[in-house]
Amino acid sequence: MNMKYGKSELSFNIDQDRVTKILEPNERPGIEDALRGVQEALNNPIGVPPLKELVNRKNPKSVVIVVNDITRPTPYESLLPPLLENLHASGISKDQITFLTATGIHDPHTHEQNVEVYGKNLVDEYKFVSHCADDVSSLLEFGELSTGLNLTINRLAAEADFLITLGVIMPHYFAGFSGGRKSILPGVAGRVCIEKNHSRMVYLMDDLPPLRRNPVNLEMIEAAKLVGVDFILNVVTNSKKEIVKIVAGDLESAWYEGASVSSDMYDVPIESKADVAIVSAGGYPRDINVYQAQKALDHADKATKLGGTIILIAECSQGYGECTFEEWMRDAKRPSDVIERIKKKFAMGGHKAYGICKVAEEKEIILISSLSKEQTEGLFMRKMDSVEEAIKYAEKKHDRPNYILMPYGSLTVPALCK
């Protein structure tokens, strides 16, 4: 069996008679001509007129395109050429366009990261700005939502004459799915605003409501509507990062259509939970750090029995990945310390610590990574150097355990059949 680890793979042997299920996405083949598919989506969007018509009607002086950061693989090579061609054909010049990287609370991009993600030619020819959730001078108070949330948004997005968001629609452990409205909240929102929105996760993660009733999702949609997103261009990709569905147009209806396709692909039924789950975050960049790899751990948790063992394969070449998260883990003597702390006062970064500790409280986590023994134990996990070593340990701990394998843990959401 091979599973992705950073930019390489780890191989291991396992008794297939003990494997109850290999959880993989219900794969769809990639679109043969993605560039043409994107152009067709721009010409025939959902819920709004074609992009060129919208741009000509508004005649904007400034266009802001909100894009994902390095932690979210996005096929820009297919999305951006047709999008920019349409904008330029509508009379929009290069100096009227700004790319705003939706970092949320992640670190701003370096120039080198911009080149890696978007390509040197694009970075050289267009203006790129990374959002910074803590830079008060770059934020604009946008008003209060029906939930009472005081919305603060990056000034570039708030003041854009025409606002476009790009994204990938993938499972998300408490918002339901990424993409769409998430480009705005949390993508380009202020830290306090993000924290208040995300604080609901503490009570949602164990019993996530249907997408259209999920309060985190609904608040994100309301925020994006208030800001005034004019057009979205989102895709659903398979495990090979090929585009299988393109949705464009209205913020809400186009995104929901894409989320339905993503759900069909990545929500995978299981008849029962396993003693042991072996899960890969899916390789780089989904295992770039612990902060990102936590999503795979959350999905593995849904497939593992109480008292079971999760073997997490994630290189984590950039360590923990976020300062507050690292601080919360360092301050805790046991998982329950984090669980109690977040219920008293929510903090971004702390929410990832909570996501890990709620699993560590009930199950043993073995981590195969580049982290040191000390760093690993600081996560309330056990470090091992190979998957074989972890399997041997699990065999001794459990009496002839059964296994669920999850090669694409960040994407695959186990759903227990009722």
Judge if the upstream peptide bond of residue 45 is cis by omega within 30 degrees of 0.
no
Whether 353 shows a pLDDT value over 80: the answer reads yes
Q: How confident is the model at residue 207 (pLDDT cuts 50, 70, 90)?
A: confident
pLDDT in tens, 313-330: 999 999 999 999 999 999
Query: Tell me, what's the pLDDT at 95?
Result: 97
Percent of the chain with pLDDT over 70: 100
CATH 3.90.226.30 is right for the domain spanning 2-25+271-416: yes
Query: Tell me, what's the pLDDT at 409?
Result: 96
What are the residue ranges of CATH 3.40.50.11440 in the chain?
Answer: 34-265
Distance CA 36, CA 215 (A): 36
The answer to whether residue 106 is catalytic is yes
Interval 252-270 mean pLDDT? 97
Query: Tell me, what's the pLDDT at 107?
Result: 86
pTM for the whole structure: 0.87
Q: How confident is the model at residue 12 (pLDDT cuts 50, 70, 90)?
A: very high
Contact (CB, 8 A) for 272 and 385: no
pLDDT in tens, 376-397: 999 999 999 999 999 999 999 9
Q: Which amino acid is at 275?
A: D
Interval 274-289 mean pLDDT? 97
Query: Tell me, what's the pLDDT at 206?
Result: 74
Cα torsion angle, 394, 352, 254, 249, sign: negative
Percent of the chain with pLDDT over 90: 92
Query: Tell me, what's the pLDDT at 388?
Result: 97
Distance CA 367, CA 371 (A): 9
Distance CA 245, CA 34 (A): 9
Q: Reduce the secondary structure of the chain to three states and give it as a string.
A: CEEEECCEEEECCCCHHHEEEECCCCCCCCCCCHHHHHHHHHHCCECCCCHHHHHHHHCCCCEEEEEECCCCCCCHHHHHHHHHHHHHHCCCCHHHEEEEEECCCCCCCCHHHHHHHHCHHHHHHCEEEECCCCCHHHEEEEEECCCCCEEEEEHHHHCCCEEEEEEECCEECCCEECCHHHHCCCCCECHHHHHHHHCCHHHHCCCCCCHHHCHHHHHHHHHHHHHCCCEEEEEEECCCCCEEEEEEECCCHHHHHHHHHHHHHHEEEECCCEEEEEEECCCCCCCCCHHHHHHHHHHHHCCEEEEEEEEEECCCCCCCCCHHHHHHHHHCCCHHHHHHHHHHCCCCCHHHHHHHHHHHCCCEEEEECCCCHHHHHCCCCEECCCHHHHHHHHHHHCCCCCEEEECCCCCCEEEECC
What end-to-end distance do the CA atoms of the chain give, in Å? 30
Tell me whether residue 12 is exposed, middle or buried, using C-beta atoms within 10 angstroms of its C-beta: 0 to 12, 13 to 18, 19 or more.
Answer: middle
Among the listed residues 109, 131, 172, 351, the single catalytic one is: 172
Contact (CB, 8 A) for 292 and 298: no
Distance CA 370, CA 320 (A): 11
Interval 353-366 mean pLDDT? 98
Query: Tell me, what's the pLDDT at 18?
Result: 96
Interval 350-358 mean pLDDT? 96
What are the residue ranges of CATH 3.90.226.30 in the chain?
Answer: 2-25+271-416
Whether 160 shows a pLDDT value over 80: the answer reads yes
Query: Judging by DSSP bridges, how do beta strands 243-249 and 231-237 pair with one another?
Result: antiparallel
What tokens does 388 get?
A: 């074989």
Q: How confident is the model at residue 240 (pLDDT cuts 50, 70, 90)?
A: confident
What tokens does 291 get?
A: 């902060």
Q: Hey, which CATH number is domain 34-265, 3.50.50.60, 3.30.70.1150, 1.25.10.10, 3.40.50.11440?
A: 3.40.50.11440
Average pLDDT over the chain, rounded to an integer: 96
Query: Tell me, what's the pLDDT at 47?
Result: 98
Q: How confident is the model at residue 202 (pLDDT cuts 50, 70, 90)?
A: confident
Q: Which amino acid is at 125?
A: E
What tokens does 93 get?
A: 């010049």
Distance CA 312, CA 310 (A): 6
Please calculate the CA angle 98-102-104 and round it to the nearest 5 degrees.
145
